[in-house]
């Protein structure tokens, strides 16, 4: 299933990805630090939503209380909940 998450509090404006049986693929961030966000997408490709959330949740950026990685953690858990609903 394709999922789009609108981010909050970060430079990236949205995150698109596929989720199938809790496994995440094809992560694409819109806006933000292009090189770093492409790398995150490649690194987590094929990971479960739970594994991504475990590694990335709570990560901050500068003085912000969140980061693009933290937003990805929130996004995949939200998508997993919707997939299981």
Model pTM? 0.96
List, for residues 8-56, the tens digit of each pLDDT value: 999 999 999 999 999 999 999 999 999 999 999 999 999 999 999 999 9
Mean pLDDT of 62-83: 97
CA angle in degrees (0–180, nearest 5) for 15-21-26: 35
Residue 70: its pLDDT value, please?
98
Residue 73: its pLDDT value, please?
98
Residue 74 CB-half CA count within 13 A: 16
Domains annotated on the chain, with CATH? 2-84 (3.90.1010)
DSSP assignment of 34-65:
HHHHHHHHHHHTT-BHHHHHHHHTT---TTSS
Residue 56: its pLDDT value, please?
98
């Amino acid at each position: 299933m394709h999922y789009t998450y609108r981010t909050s509090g970060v430079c990236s404006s949205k995150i698109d990805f596929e989720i199938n049986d809790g496994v995440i693929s094809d992560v694409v961030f819109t806006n933000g630090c292009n090189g770093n966000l492409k790398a995150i997408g490649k690194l987590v490709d094929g990971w479960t939503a739970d594994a991504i959330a475990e590694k990335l949740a709570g990560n901050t950026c500068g003085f912000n209380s969140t980061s693009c990685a933290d937003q990805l953690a929130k996004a995949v858990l939200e998508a997993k909940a919707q997939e299981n609903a």
